[in-house]
Amino acid sequence: MEQVSPVISPVKPENGGTVPAAPQERTLRYKPGDLIIKEGDFGTALYRIRSGTVGVFKELHGEELPLYELGPGDVFGEKVFIDGGSQPRPASAVAKDAVELEAWHYLALRREHQALRPIFRLIALDMVKKLAKISAMHDRVRLNKNHAQNRPAEPDTAEVNLTVHEPSCTLKLAGSEPVGRVWEGLVEYRLTDNPASGMLHATGVDIDKDGMRFDVKLANINNGGHEPGSSIQLAIHLPGGVPVKVHGKITSISRGSLIGHTALRVHFRDISAEAKQRLTAFLAT
Amino acid sequence: MELPESITAYIRNRLSFKQGQAVFEEGSQARHVFIIMQGRVRIRKQTPNGLLTLGVLDPGHVLGETSLFDKAAQQRSATAIAETDVVLGVLDREKLEKELSLISPVQQEILAGLARRIRLNTASAALLAGS
């Protein structure tokens, strides 16, 4: 049973565009030339094209470098599904003609994802990860090509090795070695060295056996001793039963996936055998 | 690699490949969807300038899944070669297709959209690398 239902803010266009009056309607419309995603911005939505053509491009030395065009049925912005919008958009997207999009907040998408059977959860996550790898490689080939055009031609070689060496992507699959999972749920925490801060609430977004990441609605995180290295006490509301209590240390602080939010990465320390067992069981389901 | 029962329940049979053997070739008819159980599989695509490696996949990854979602594309978009000795699980396609049809249309469309993007970016990268 879903115990926690984080508030999902309605998806707003990242760069203009008109949102229809009905807030439940996740349709966004753009005119030719409208910028849908700006490279480097932070967004929280994945888009699916209902109609029209979307051009994807990167900027290089002030020039637009077209990557590819997408049409009805295609999705883009899918990286939010894995990074929760914590990473800048890798490329820009522009409406080439009148475009109608369906926008999905990544939390809503993850909820849908959680409802899938494990095999489809696995395949969907695998496709998103593969796509991130292929897109990154595609961009590199494109950037190298562009770079090469500005250099004198190299002598012909008998064999052109185009192999792009990539660190192989290890899909973390719950099994013999439960490693991690995309998760969302309530986390309560207290900064050990600052008891005055009291119990704070946050939304857990990813969890693994070593630590977790969560989003807290605090624009000014510098208040109250949120610093890398700070000790933290957590009560993680995993589904079923009492919260799992662990101690940890904040390892990094970054801009949250929602406006006015901050993302904290915590490394677990001093996990009791019982907490470890529950965490392992949760990661393996 | 030990896969959870929720995944192994879909494995119909296992196939072994020796290092260097092709699991499937680009352009061939896509029949099976695999999951890598042991070993590593290199995915590559032919371009006029040579072979472009799209990635090397570890155990736990699926292989050939795009044909499941993207009905318009039933041919392999790249070649899969056993990078080491490999054991693959052949997933029960009929069962997958049946269960897929029960998922909400919106989710089906997003899965299909992801599959299309994989194919599009693969083709686009190869085109670019070969130009």
The tens digit of pLDDT for each residue in B64-93 reads 999 999 887 789 989 999 999 999 999 999
Phi-psi group of A33: left, alpha or beta (phi > 0 → left; psi -120 to 50 → alpha; rest → beta): left
**Could you give the C-alpha distances from B92 to A123, A167, B33, in angstroms and in order?**
14, 30, 8
Confidence of residue A158 (pLDDT cuts 50, 70, 90): very low
| Interatomic CA distance for residues A265 and A246, integer angstroms | 14
Instruction: Tell me the pLDDT of chain A averaged across its residues.
Output: 74
**Would you say how long chain A is, in residues?**
285
Residues of chain A found within 8 Å of residue B65, distances taken between Cβ atoms? 123, 126-127
Instruction: Say what the pLDDT of residue A65 is.
Output: 84
Which tokens hold the place of B2? 């030990």
The pLDDT value given to residue A25: 39
pLDDT at position A260:
67
Tell whether the model's pLDDT for residue A273 goes beyond 70.
Answer: yes
pLDDT at A222 over 80: no
> Residues B96-116: what's their mean pLDDT?
92
Nearest by CB to residue B128, choosing from A70, A123, A138, is A138
Q: What percent of chain A has pLDDT over 90?
A: 19
Q: How many CA atoms lie within 13 A of A137 on its CB side?
A: 29
Give contacts of A128 with chain B, Cβ < 8 Å: 114
Strand, coil or helix: what is A265? strand
**Which one-letter amino acid corresponds to residue A101?**
L
Q: Is the pLDDT of residue B45 over 70?
A: yes
The 3-state secondary structure of B97-125 reads HHHHCCCCHHHHHHHHHHHHHHHHHHHHH
| Cβ separation A134–B118 shorter than 8 A | yes
**Which comes out higher in pLDDT, residue A198 or B105?**
B105
Specify the pLDDT at position A164: 34
Identify the pLDDT of residue A154: 37
DSSP reduced 3-state for B90:
strand
pLDDT of amino acid A23? 35
Give the pLDDT score at B36. 97
Of chain A, the percentage scoring pLDDT greater than 70 comes to 71
Q: Which of residues 185-214 of A touch B (CB under 8 A)?
A: none
Average pLDDT, chain B: 91
On whether ipTM exceeds 0.85, the answer is yes
Tokens matching residue B71: 């009905």
Q: Residues B51, B54, B56, CA angle at the centre, nearest 5°?
A: 110
Distance to chain B for A192, nearest Cα, Å: 37
pLDDT band (50, 70, 90) for residue A1 = very low
Q: Nearest-5° angle of CA A185, CA A75, CA B96?
A: 75
For chain B, say whether A8 makes contact (Cβ under 8 Å): no
Tell me which of B99 and A59 has the higher pLDDT. B99
Higher pLDDT pick, B38 / A17: B38
How much is the pTM?
0.62
Asked whether the beta carbons of B29 and B17 are under 8 A apart, the reply is no
Across A197-216, b (16+ Cβ under 10 Å) vs e yields: eeebebbbbbbbbebbbbbb
pLDDT recorded at residue A107: 85
| Of A208 and A74, the one with more pLDDT | A74
Dihedral pair phi/psi, residue A122, rounded to 5° = -60, -50
Interface check B68 vs A, CB under 8 A: yes
Mean pLDDT of the A266-277 span: 83
Please choose, from the candidates A70, A132, A137, A133, the residue with its C-alpha nearest in 3D space to the C-alpha of residue B129: A137
Arithmetic mean of pLDDT, B52-59: 89
Handedness of CA B96, B78, B118, A168 (dihedral sign): positive
Is residue A98's pLDDT more than 60?
Answer: yes
Across the strands, what pairs with A159? Answer: none
Q: Are B40 and B86 in contact (CB under 8 A)?
A: yes
Is pLDDT at B9 greater than 90 in this prediction? yes
- Mean pLDDT, residues B39-50: 89
Whole-number pLDDT of residue A284: 64
The per-residue pLDDT for B68 is 93
By mean pLDDT, which of A85-89, A167-171, A223-227, B23-27 is the weakest? A167-171
- Alpha carbons B15 and B35: distance in angstroms, whole number: 10
In the stretch 117-136 of chain A, residues with CB closer than 8 A to chain B read: 117-120, 122-124, 126-128, 130-131, 133-135
The answer to whether the CB of A260 falls within 8 A of the CB of A149 is no
At A87, the pLDDT band (50, 70, 90 cuts) reads confident
Number of Cβ within a 10 Å radius of residue A25: 12
pLDDT of residue A151: 46
Higher pLDDT, A51 or A259: A51
Give the residue from B30, B32, B109, B112 showing the smallest Cα distance to B77: B30
Task: Decide if A101 touches B, using CB distance below 8 A.
Answer: no
